[in-house]
Chains A and B, each alone.
Chain A
Amino acid sequence: MTVALRTENISKHYGSGPDAVTAVDNVTFEVAEGEFVALVGPSGSGKTSLLAMLAGLLTPSDGKILIEGQDMGRMSDRRRTQFRRKAIGFTFQSNNLVPYLTAQDNVELMLRLNGKHTKSTRARAAELLERLGLGSRLDHFPSELSGGQQQRVAIARALIHEPAVVLADEPTASLDTTLAHQVVETFAHLIHEQRRAGIMVTHDLRMTRYVDRVIQMKDGKLNRILTERHEIDALSQQGM
């Protein structure tokens, strides 16, 4: 099992002195290639701050984050931006897509940013969208797509450049139950198939049924890690 992402005792404090707030407190875990992990916990538990640090958008106050063995904390801002667009795929809760680009152009955006935009990669983008059920929507703008379709385009964009790590921030927040299950199931399938390390932040415990491991956070700390299938299914049932 190859480790794609590893955190070592990372913490994040906001402010200083007596007013300091600790959002993430001494968290260590790792995610392997082809593994899909859910990051769950109540609001304010530090999930989003942790995700932002994993993405290199926020610098940890302490600790290390290694992606493919490289420490993002030791990179310059410019190098970290380059590394992020190469090694990380991203889907967000909202404002996922560029409104003036078609579904296919949105997916190809990551290829263009990484200087990998060729005829063959273009065909690969179209093929990926077709696999996600969007074959007839390639030339549609985001405003012409449903919420579920937009999330699937975002998933395609997050995967097209073959990143080591794929991060998803509440990907089902604006979807109805049926669509939410479809989107996360597809996401999990592609993570496994393409051997990416996937981390999904979610409030919706029902979605944990599609992941391999659940990391529960509480008050900034890593509260519990569920690895057994029956434990994960039990947690998923709690969300029903």
Chain B
Amino acid sequence: MAFYLAFKEIWHSRGRYLLIAGIVALITTLVLFIAALAEGLGNGNREYLQKLNGELIVYQQGVDLSISASRLGRSTLAAVRRVEGVAQAGQVNFSSSTLVFSDGREALDVSLVGVEPGLPGEPPAFQGNNLSRGRANEAILDRNTALRANLQVGDTIVVKSTQGTEEKQYPLAVTGITDGRQYFLQPSIFVPMQTWEKVRPGGGEIPAGSELVSNIIAVRLADPAQLPAVQARLLAEVSDIETADRTTAYEATPGYSAQQSTLNTQRYFTLLIGILVIGGFFQIQTLQKIAQIGMLKAIGTTNGIVALAAIVQIVAVNTLGVLIGAAGSLLLSLTFPVQVPIVFTPNAVIASVLALLIIGPLGGLVSVWALSRVEPLRALGLAQ
């Protein structure tokens, strides 16, 4: 009976219900795009550190987990490697640079990451090969770099950087392509440590006998379950360092937490607006229907039927709106160029869709309560 009344009314006033479903669809689109933007921007900041093939990251002491401020030499690396529970450790350096193309393709700003071939910090090449040796003029590209510059294994890229006051170009062979490993909101290229020192802005050949300095050391543990114990041993046995796990490390990157909390606040406010819009619409509907509801109750319709009919309508309209919005958002996202940081992940989409499906009944609770309070005496123009 409740379903009969609910769907008869929806069909009779389908224009009105489609309108509110359309509004729910727009709210859904907004929520999903904010979630996708948060994911995209978050990825841009954390992707490399999140996928790092090591459980711990070592920084210089007193830099408050700031990668750019940290400096660690080979002696520290050697000390780290000697600590019990450390399987392997590798130096990692970060800088920014630009890829230039002679065929008219637009220059591409990238994160230039120096890694030690075969050691933690070097990403696995899913196409092609890993870096061969420390001084090789080779690079592994992350997927974003390859897509945005249309590059393949075997191509040669040219890194442009300023040395002193002079602009120099360094050709590097693409040996491999890894998955998405952005860092600092830029696509990345990974080069051997010594090559990194040579091609980075302000770099150059390393003088003989000088120590190779890096920003951080990536540490792979013999047993990842022993992370707290190894972390404690590192701090006790290696001087002037601080350590962090991957999650702490990327959360400490500049602006990451502020950016994520801003986007999440936007998302929660949009959900709140959704609750108010749906609640407002159904409350207005209820106010318009008081006499009719009074009549229905007077002829013997129970409160349960009236309330269930309202809930069925709210859920049906909300679900329709969420489905239209979700399908529309996913289709729209296919039209976006690769450089737009919009990433729809199944988890984020499911969480947002579930939240949106819940806000409908939540918003409609007041109107359901109001419906249950309508007295059948209203039908006779009386109310107690």
Contact = CB atoms under 8 A, between A and B. Distances in A.
Given A52-B380, A95-B291, A98-B292, A78 B12 contact: no
B18 to A, nearest CB: 15
B301 interface: yes
Interface stretch (B1-9, B111-119, B359-367): B1-9
Nearest to A94: B291
B299 A58 contact: no
Could you tell me the dominant secondary structure of chain B's interface residues? helix
A86 interface: yes
A228 B288 CA distance: 46
Nearest to A55: B298
Contacts of B302: 78, 81
Which size bracket describes the interface of A in this complex?
Answer: 20 to 34
B300 A57 contact: no
B292 A113 contact: no
Interface in A34-92: 48-49, 51-52, 55, 57-58, 78, 81-82, 84-86, 88, 90, 92
A57 B291 contact: no
Which size bracket describes the interface of B in this complex?
Answer: 20 to 34
Contacts of B9: 100
B65 to A, nearest CB: 62
B301 A48 contact: no
Interface string B320-347: 0000000000000000000000000000
B291 A86 contact: no
B12 A90 contact: no
Given A98-B292, A100-B8, A112-B1, A85 B300 contact: yes
Contacts of A93: 380-381
B382 interface: yes
B12 A92 contact: no
A145 interface: no
Given A48-B381, A58-B377, A112-B4, A86 B300 contact: yes
Contact of A48 (B294, B296, B380): B380
Given A48-B380, A113-B1, 20 more contacts: A48-B382, A52-B380, A52-B382, A57-B382, A81-B297, A84-B299, A85-B300, A86-B300, A90-B299, A92-B295, A93-B380, A95-B379, A98-B295, A99-B12, A100-B12, A109-B299, A110-B299, A110-B300, A112-B4, A157-B299
Interface of B: 1, 4-5, 8-9, 11-13, 291-292, 294-302, 375-377, 379-382, 384
25 contacts: A48-B382, A49-B382, A52-B377, A52-B380, A55-B298, A57-B375, A57-B380, A58-B377, A81-B297, A81-B302, A82-B300, A85-B301, A90-B298, A90-B379, A92-B379, A95-B292, A95-B294, A95-B379, A98-B295, A100-B11, A100-B13, A101-B8, A110-B299, A112-B4, A113-B300
Interface of A: 48-49, 51-52, 55, 57-58, 78, 81-82, 84-86, 88, 90, 92-96, 98-101, 105, 109-110, 112-114, 141, 157, 169
